[in-house]
Chain A
Amino acid sequence: MMNGTMNGFLLSILIWLPILGAVAVLIAGEQRPLMAKGLALVISAATFLLGLPLFFAFDTSTAAMQFVELRPWIETFNINYYLGVDGFSAPLILLTIFFGVLIVIAGWRSIQKKVNQYMAAFLVMEGLMVGVFSALDGLLFYIFFEAMLIPMFLVIGIWGGPRRVYATIKFFLYTFLGSVFMLIGLIYLYIQSGTWDILSWHQMPLGFVAQKWLFLGFLAAFAVKIPMFPVHTWLPDAHVEAPTGGSVILAAIMLKIGGYGFIRFSLPITPDASAALDWLVIGLSLIAVVYIGFVALAQQDMKKLIAYSSISHMGFVTLGLFIAFAIYRKTGGVSGAALGVEGAMMQMISHGFISGALFLTVGVLYDRVHSRMIKDYGGVANTMPWFAMFAVFFLMANSGLPGTSGFVGEFMVILSAFQANFWFAFLAALTLILGAAYSLWLAKRVIFGAVANHKVENLQDINAREALVLGTLAVAILFFGLWPQPIVDMMQASVDNLLQHIVQSKVI
């Protein structure tokens, strides 16, 4: 379909088309919101369509980087504009450009002020996130990683709720503080190796002490981003205050950058330190899964509940990644560990769809009632039957119902945890109960029961635009729940390669 020359620029197009398009959207001006929205829709749809070769032309038989672009950028320091994707990043990029379109449609009506700036911010963010997932140069990665904060900071701050200033500054500073430690780690790696190339860092031998410090530096950045207990506190605040679109991107894509960072940096660059400190990550993951699950149960605010549920689900991602070392120690092989890593990846993709869908669902209610509090609702199913169908489906998926994508990832991680330690698996499996408890209880209180008040009585069911957005997500969740094979195929080679790599000691 697409030939090689086109593929040589594909990633650049996916990064720069939205960013440059954002400039055009800004120029459209505040006075012409329709034009701004239309332009944003065209640009994001074009980006999505242009990005499809990433799936269709992707070679699943190799773990090598594909769609590679390499250009010198800052020659004095060997910094390159170096892009490429493998089985880990390609699915995440597809997820990103998919949500790029949905966000524009979802914000069509609900954003009233400064529409052009809103749309431009999301387009810029989309381009930068694709950049994060495709950068193979350490500094380039850092630049995208940090630059992404700017549009998100503005989105929460301008279009957010009443405590938006607090939430957005907290979000910015938390992430910024985490990532500067990574920056020092990256500079150290550059000084040691003379290159910023992430792939050569993978191969580079490193002393154990250096690895340990580097690991902690990466952990600081990615643990905040994903987020792990105890540095998760920015997330509920940011989610609650962000506008719907902001919450969706935050949950669906940005959190995945933390998990992706572990896969791209922590595990392959510092495998010995990761193996030695895996107890730390596994412990924190289990705390997140169980404790944050209980915290979610206690929430009064729907968005906060989903935010805590996200943290708990992200615990599975870190658990699945780091359980590999425990399995290797116990069984001496990596075959069981592959299930964990694949499960983690699956969980990231699936959580992208589900959490995005849940925040959009809350957004639909918020647009009508202007409240996120659970107590303001009840019996929504009576007035919004179509909506109720979608909402209940998404909540079921969130609790890991077999047949939805939410089940696949969790199940794979739990299975692989069994091979490491029964208690890991037991604690992780608690989430099936807890997740069901807070998700279904939420459904009971909001969707079912008698009509709670006058406002709920007058609710209008979802319109075609909202049905399109929620329907697309429902299809995706169902599709990958029943047939996860396409994603597993995409990442298989990369997962095997990663596991072969990380069990070999790099200590000099």
Chain B
Amino acid sequence: MNSAQMLLAAPEFWVLVMACVIMVVDLFLREERRGIIHMLAMLTVIFAAIITLRGECLSNGLLSVTAFQDSFIRDPMGDVLKVFAFVLMGLIFIYSKFYLRNFKMFRADFYTLSLFSLLGVMLLISANSMLMIYLGLELISLSVYALVAFNRESGRGSESAMKYFVLGSMASGMLLYGMSMIYGATGSLLLPEIAEAIRTQGSDDILLMFGLVFVVVGIAFKFGLVPFHMWIPDVYEGAPPAVTLYLSSVPKLAAFAMAYRFLSSGLGDMHIHWQSMLASLAVLSIILGNLAAIMQTNIKRMLAYSTISHMGFVMLGLLPGTAFGFGSAMYYVIVYGIMSVAAFGMIILLSSRGVEAEHLDDFKGLNQRNPFYAAIMGLVMFSMAGVPPMVGFFAKLMVLKAVIEAGMLWLAIAAVVFAVIGAFYYLRIIKFMYFDEPEDETVIKAPVDFGAALTFNGIMILGLGIFSSSLIAICMTSFGI
């Protein structure tokens, strides 16, 4: 291991070091000086974003370079995803500080665990071997298990953490099992070598096929695709909103990267096999996600089912196996992250009086209480429903184009029909905000940084829609289009 290789992983090292520093610094801080922790965490993500942006891939257009015996890869796609992970993480820290302070849970553990999980996200994004994939995945998951139970007094939190842990471990087991089969069939842990082996020996090996099935199950679990979605609503509901905020956005970026690396870089020659699996997962997710979301009265559960359907759309982008398809899926997952963070940010805003805003009713009359925040939530909801000119529309457009181009018209039709059905529950939130009278008239107050972050987030949703060209181009160039 030489210094050049270390430099490639500089953002990872930086986050690792800072996570440890924060852990130690917290020991010497008095209660009222905890704000420093927040500052340090913000500094971590900002600086990490700068290092990544100044790296060879984004500043000089370097294609890809590997390190640590080829098990770590740095390429434009990974760097773009990481930068967005940092941006989202910054927003998440600002939103959750407000929540944690309101609910008297402002402890440094939240920041260290989040940063370790972020590190896992980064490793997973840059993984080039099955070992690294597993490492990244477990680092994310273990930190998140703890985060879900972050509110020690909450029975629901502990219950959902337990559920998540049991199911998550099972999924990890499946993934490991699948990996071991692939390893057995190809004799390597490195994705490019696996691809090479499959190319020479053909993809009809039964062992390989079983391996693929288990790997797809593992991926589906991480995305929360039907029928491996059961944990999503419970965990979203049980976890504190500050954690759900994180859970619903940043790890999805990593899940996309994992799916891409595994399925395209590693098992690209088995495309015909995994395509049909992803197609059924996608359709089931879009159907069930949208239908189940209609019946929810709890906003977090509703958003959980909405996540499931959105991840179905990401699958639609992945399954054609074309560069354009991957680009569109990446665009979708980034856009989804931005929308999801904004939506949970709003929930945190409404929870500001020490009671968690959980029911759709909590949004009643928001337009009367604060037209500005109502408008932002309106943008988010229309964007999630896929109404132009919000950015969510462009995400759906790209994915649909990829699917139609691949000749799977029926998939596209099913997707849009259920997207329209799904539009209903987003409209219902708008209905609560705009058409109903408020149940309590208390003024909504948020600190300056919170308001600024939410405004920025809302502007991103509208602005990236109206000026969608740049982000689309960035995602597409990551895949050489």
Residues of A that sit less than 8 Å from B by CB: 26, 30, 73-77, 114, 117, 139, 142-143, 146-147, 149-150, 153-154, 157-158, 164-165, 168-169, 172-173, 176-177, 180-181, 183-184, 187-188, 190-191
B424 A169 Cβ-Cβ under 8 A: yes
Taking A153-B427, A184-B400 as given, write out 12 further A-B residue pairs in contact, using a Cβ cutoff of 8 Å, ordered by the A residue number: A74-B472, A76-B469, A76-B476, A76-B481, A146-B388, A147-B387, A154-B430, A164-B435, A165-B435, A169-B427, A183-B397, A187-B412
Subset of 14 A-B contacts with CB under 8 Å: A30-B371, A76-B473, A77-B401, A139-B397, A169-B424, A169-B427, A173-B420, A180-B416, A184-B400, A184-B412, A184-B413, A187-B404, A187-B412, A191-B404
Interface size class, chain B = 20 to 34
Cα A73 to Cα B382 in complex, Å, equals 22
Interface: B389 (CB within 8 A)? yes
Cα A26 to Cα B416 in complex, Å, equals 33
Chain B neighbourhood of A188, CB < 8 A: 404, 409
Chain B neighbourhood of A117, CB < 8 A: 367, 371
Most chain A beta-carbon contacts within 10 A, residue among B367, B405, B435: B435
B404 A143 Cβ-Cβ under 8 A: no
Interface: B434 (CB within 8 A)? yes
Chain B neighbourhood of A76, CB < 8 A: 469, 472-473, 476, 481
Interface: B459 (CB within 8 A)? no
Chain B neighbourhood of A157, CB < 8 A: 430-431, 434-435
CB-CB nearest 6 A-B residue pairs: A143-B388, A180-B416, A74-B469, A157-B435, A177-B420, A146-B388
A150 B387 Cβ-Cβ under 8 A: yes
Chain A neighbourhood of B420, CB < 8 A: 173, 176-177, 180
B417 A77 Cβ-Cβ under 8 A: no
Chain A neighbourhood of B382, CB < 8 A: 150
Q: Could you tell me the distance in whole angstroms from the C-beta of A255 to the nearest C-beta in chain B?
A: 20
Q: How many A-B residue pairs have CB under 8 A?
A: 88
Q: Given A147-B388, A191-B401, A154–B416 Cβ distance below 8 Å?
A: no
Chain B neighbourhood of A114, CB < 8 A: 367
A184 B397 Cβ-Cβ under 8 A: no
Q: Could you tell me the distance in whole angstroms from the C-beta of B472 to the nearest C-beta in chain A?
A: 5
Chain B neighbourhood of A168, CB < 8 A: 435
Interface: B130 (CB within 8 A)? no
**Of residues 12 to 67 in B, which have CB atoms within 8 Å of A's CB atoms?**
none
**Of residues 371 to 419 in B, which have CB atoms within 8 Å of A's CB atoms?**
371, 382, 387-389, 393, 397, 400-401, 404-405, 409, 412-413, 416-417, 419
Interface: B151 (CB within 8 A)? no
Q: Given A30-B371, A117-B371, A146–B417 Cβ distance below 8 Å?
A: no
Residue of A nearest to B379 (CB): A150
B431 A75 Cβ-Cβ under 8 A: no
Q: Could you tell me the distance in whole angstroms from the C-beta of A345 to the nearest C-beta in chain B?
A: 27
**Of residues 456 to 478 in B, which have CB atoms within 8 Å of A's CB atoms?**
468-469, 472-473, 476
Q: Could you tell me the distance in whole angstroms from the C-beta of A378 to the nearest C-beta in chain B?
A: 34
Q: Given A142-B388, A187-B404, A74–B468 Cβ distance below 8 Å?
A: yes
Chain B neighbourhood of A180, CB < 8 A: 416-417, 419-420
Q: Could you tell me the distance in whole angstroms from the C-beta of A124 to the nearest C-beta in chain B?
A: 11
Q: Given A76-B481, A153-B430, A187–B397 Cβ distance below 8 Å?
A: yes
Cα A353 to Cα B419 in complex, Å, equals 36
Chain A neighbourhood of B413, CB < 8 A: 181, 184
Cα A176 to Cα B416 in complex, Å, equals 10
Q: Given A76-B472, A180-B416, A184-B416, A173–B423 Cβ distance below 8 Å?
A: yes
Cα A180 to Cα B404 in complex, Å, equals 14
Chain A neighbourhood of B424, CB < 8 A: 169, 173
Residue of B nearest to A164 (CB): B435
Cα A14 to Cα B400 in complex, Å, equals 32
Chain B neighbourhood of A190, CB < 8 A: 401
Cα A269 to Cα B420 in complex, Å, equals 26
Cα A190 to Cα B400 in complex, Å, equals 12
Cα A188 to Cα B468 in complex, Å, equals 21
Chain A neighbourhood of B404, CB < 8 A: 184, 187-188, 191
Chain B neighbourhood of A184, CB < 8 A: 400, 404, 409, 412-413, 416
Q: Could you tell me the distance in whole angstroms from the C-beta of A302 to the nearest C-beta in chain B?
A: 24
Cα A169 to Cα B409 in complex, Å, equals 28
A183 B400 Cβ-Cβ under 8 A: yes
Cα A112 to Cα B77 in complex, Å, equals 53
A143 B401 Cβ-Cβ under 8 A: no
- Which of A139, A147, A154, A172 is within 8 Å of B434, CB to CB? A154
Residue of A nearest to B385 (CB): A176
